[in-house]
Structure 1
Amino acid sequence: MMRRADGQSFRWSLQAVVALVFTLVVLAISSALIGFNHYQLTKLTVRDAEDDFQRISNNVRDEISGSLHIAGSVLDTASLTLDPNLPSEQLGGLLISILKDLDDALPAAMGIFIGRGDGSHIVVQSLTGKWPHEIGTGIEGAAYAFMIIENSSSQHTARWVVTDREGKELRRIPPQPSEFDPRRRPWYRASLQSPGMIITPPYRFASVPEVGITLARQSRQQEDAVFGIDMTLASLDLYLEKLRIPAELELLVFDNSGVLIAHPRGAAYRAALPDRSGKLLTVDDARSPLLTGMFKTFQQNHDSLGQSASFSVNGDEYFGRTERVGEGVDNLFVSLAIPYDIMIGPAQQIRSGLLLISAASVLLALLIVLLASRRLALPLRKATEDIGRIMKFEFGHTRRAPSRIIEVGELSRAIDTLEIALMNFMRYVPDALVRRIIGRKFSADLGGKRQPVTVLFSDVAGFTTMAEGLDPEEVMAKTSRYFSEIGNELVRSGATIDKYIGDSIMAFWNAPDERQDHVAAACLGALRASHRLERLNAKFVAEGGAPMRTRFGMHTGDAVVGNVGSVDRVNYTVLGHTVNMASRFEKLNKRYGTTILVSEDVCAAAGENYLFRFVDRTVPEGAHRPMAVYELLGAMRPDEPELAPVPERLETLEAWEVVRALCEAGDWQTALGLLEKLVEAAPDDILFRVYLDRCRANLGTLQTT
């Protein structure tokens, strides 16, 4: 209350009081914000420059690491699949096909080779760049050349073969004496001493005047053989040129000794370098004061890598940063710098305009906020809660009230679409993989890594005959019921279902989520699935249909886990010998009349809670030596008594172990008598009949001889 001149009280309305108080508060806040904005703008400009530096550094790092990852995957596959003992020219043809596939995915790959312990060496080189002088010039259609180093008792010889892109021979160079011996190369010795891939420091290649690095790893089939890939650094120069925005930005890659690895003008610098007996171009050789200043700043601030710093070159101020490339090449560094006035100049022009715009915007925002905040807050809060539940994979949110605001309505529809899309996505892709994708813990890049896994294959006995007697719609419906039952149990035990192949399932454990007990989990999943199918088959029979009796095969071991496919479609899967053996074990069930057949490795790693029965020692298709196979009989789990072995198997298990020992000792006569009793006690056990026939056959052979 205030007093007027005539002595009467001056009254304020509530609306005026609220408006005045609110106006004063807003003015105070806006003044503080404008002042704070003035202070922060320069700081934000510096931060934006740092973010740009980080983005460019990450791009360079990703370019290098991506190339190394692709090359590493190729080497890993080659070391697993290529036989180093093949004839040299046959190996050359195989290496040409690999290099041809690498041309599009990895342009930096200049050549691929194998060095062997006998001193022989096969290297395939792309002819898209400079040609080796040994092969001459003027070969129309030439795409690849491979050199074969052969070691005789008297000397090493080298011969070259030039081919077109399809591997057709165009020119053959006669053998010439050579001093090249792969066993004296640093990559050969380092590969034999390392369990994985090694990367050499940059050096000048022997066959062409190019600078690059070599990636190599030991063959998994022959200990004294080494596979390798030569990668040129010329493509990195072009990549840096693409990242050089604005034009005043300077960036380069060097090693800790000052060798200039890559620069947008790297090719010109190298061309101007006089011949110095194979020595590499250094930063000082470029004769650029700025590049020299950047390297000196790196040397002075070596302990604070990754932090931006200001430095002066010939009186001009620069702002820059140097970071380690990493990803297997820890001795390489990427450095960036930009003139300080170029970086801060636009920000200074914007700052003055922002001061005026900020003041007007604050006043306008006051009115908009008062009118819109109440109406927008509630539906937005509800939408945020719904998104939070969806990101936690909790589907089925309550229906929201319709809004007359277009954006809120579109947001609601987008949330509904997101929920439906994610729900359906999880029906096509394993849950664990979806969670990693959503959590940004999974890369969709092609390639994979080697790790232990347990692989399972299943197959329905007599499926083709059953399907012939049903309509396609009935086959689809019945198969869907079957896959739903068996798939639920496998997923419940932690499996990743790789694919459905007709009536078969391929699943694996320990990827993408790793777990120590993946072998035991796989055994539990197979038992649960088998028990679940017994109940499902009872329903099929009650409905007048045929049961779907299923056989399982499992193996555990190392495999390559990752993405296989093309740029527009990938499949997360496992590859390798372990996968092939699991499939072979599944097929062996038919021979022995078993349901779940596993390898000796699975039997050894499953744990004491699982009961196995020795089946045989045989050579599965694709194997090179006899392997012991076991039948998984059941699990001792108090919470799941239905998974216990059937009594009939337990009653004959002790006698079976005696028979097994007799057979291994060659006492076929005694084993025959016990097996006849076992067949009489368990006539449905095909395994006893298999061994009974084997005993009779061996006894017949002995009597004949």
Structure 2
Amino acid sequence: MRMRLGEWRLRPSIVVLFIAMVLPVFTAAIWAGYVSLERMARSQAEESVDRARVETIGHTEALVDPIASLVRVSSRLAAEQPEFFRQDRALPTMLEVLSHSPTISSVYVGFADGSYRMALRVPPKVKIHGKDPPPITLYANRWIDRSAKSPLEVYTFLDTSSQVLGTSTATTTYDPRVRAWYKDAVEKKGLITSNPYIYATTGLPGITVAMPFMVKGQVGGVVAIDILMDSLSHFLKARLVSPNSLSLIVDRDGLIVAHSDASQVLKRDVAGALSRVRINELKDPLPALAFGERGAHKQAQFNFMHRGDEYVAMFAPFPPEFGKAWDVVIVTPLEDFVGEASANNRQLLLMGLVAIGLQVLVIYALSRRIARPLEQLEQQVQDVQDFKTTHSEPVRSRIREISSLATSVGTLQGAITAFSAFVPRELVRQLIATGHKLELGGRSQFLTVMFTDLEAFSTLTEITPAQELLDRVSHYFDVVTRATIVEKGTLDKFIGDGVMAFWGAPAQLEDHAYHACVAALRIQRGMDKLNADYAERGIPPLRVRVGIHSDAVLVGNMGAPDRMSYTVMGDGVNLAARLEGTNKEFGTNICISHAVFREAGERLWIRRIGVVTVKGRRQDLQVYELMGLKDGDPELLATPQIIRLCEMTNKAYASFEDGDIGQARQRFIEITEAFPGDPLALAMIAKCKTTDDEVITV
């Protein structure tokens, strides 16, 4: 074929188009990937910071709230039993509170008269009255009795089993009433949480949760629990947003409450005294820088630059109901999140460039192998377009798509020839697939033939408008056609309101009798659905009768050289048509012959109709009604009622066949009682009245 102006050759076109398509897409993909990864990294950083904020506040509340509940319960107990905590019997209760959480340092009660009882967890290396406690000391009971002129402070040391290890007694000036936790609780007249401070007893940092109790309308004292702050620092360290991030909690004065680096919570002055660290005294300047940037931003989370690096910072206050003006402060370098994304982008860019170079070389080589067979196929398609039936040399290619295309073009050439002589289309497809020659002739073959017909079609044509009749018959034909095709049958022809189909040719088919029976059941189920739709619209239903027979028939191309039909003929075909008419005599839907029963009966639920005489045949014929499948498509399986009907009918017919007409008649009557109006049972009852072994002629 000559090239027209503006047309390109295939080989260079493939390479040029490939480069033109791939390069922009690749560039856009790399850029989009870079932007997307960086955006995702930023989003991940922000989400991680926010998640850390929620977890930190939640953990702190979860740490304090249960202990606040313990303080409330203990305060109520002290109010109800004012002398309880003054006595040693209170010690087990206080030790139980201590065991509630390892973060509880001590539990104590300060009384209005200045007396004081404390149960505390004794940390290592702590001196009591200037001396070391006994070696295995775990707890201590501290008691100060202010009833004496010279108050004494008594420590009782206990082991893990609460056994007494020893005591230590000394004079004391300690007065709980002057302590901040006592005065704040009395002043508020309710639960308070103190600011962090260094415990006088243990020298450890912590907070106090305290609540007063009332005795006869007066303050009887204050119950308090000390909570160590080092657990919060450990939590912050375990929940770092990224490897180089910082997390801390600060109060309104900028003093550190907890830090992911626990060593930065406290500092020691020249005299050796411990005090809390301020945010601007931290070794790492980032929190202080973020604190300074906070005023320039109107939101809790913001980004700021330091020495060329970008950081994400968040200042999140604790909720008001927590009762403390604390902030969660999180600072994390953005590089911790985008660094990996940037490295991935660089690697992706390098790999992409190498891949494009290799692909250009491969595409160039493949274009040479693709072009020639495609040019040959182009000529063959042109021949098909011109309805030329001459067969060209087959095109060969190692490329699967081209090879498949070549096969398809060859098949198309054969199909054009076949379609000029055969209908219906599905039959032509099968003939092409099986390689049948387009010439007159046939052969004898054992097949299964099916006829269908509409009951009372003549009456229907008289009372139904032409267009409506056409629509209804077309729907019926569609149901039959679909069922036949699904079950691999060959649709032969439409005969008025009847349809003829057969199984086993032109393509060989195992179990063709069974497939024909399944198709018949599909037709009945399809008509049930169609009739249900008719019923909703007030249209009378259509009842289809089916006859199926398996026999050796002549199958092949019948007719004249210029007009032929692929069909079947013979006595077996006539018998299948007669079986369709047998339904009229017994009121049944699907009649099958004994030959069909012999081929597929073990997979079907059937009931015997009897021995009938077919016009034109000398031999009688055993006929059955097909009711359903024993296995297979759930929609076609026989229901328990159908199975029962089959069993009752076959049992009744066995009596009839044995000559016990009375018992047979009684059993058929029982069928009509169980299944009122069953036409086959009614027909057999009538037959039992007239003769003992008469056969019916159809």
Fold match (TM-score > 0.5): no
TM-score (norm 1): 0.42
Q: Which has the larger radius of gyration?
A: 2
TM-score (norm 2): 0.43
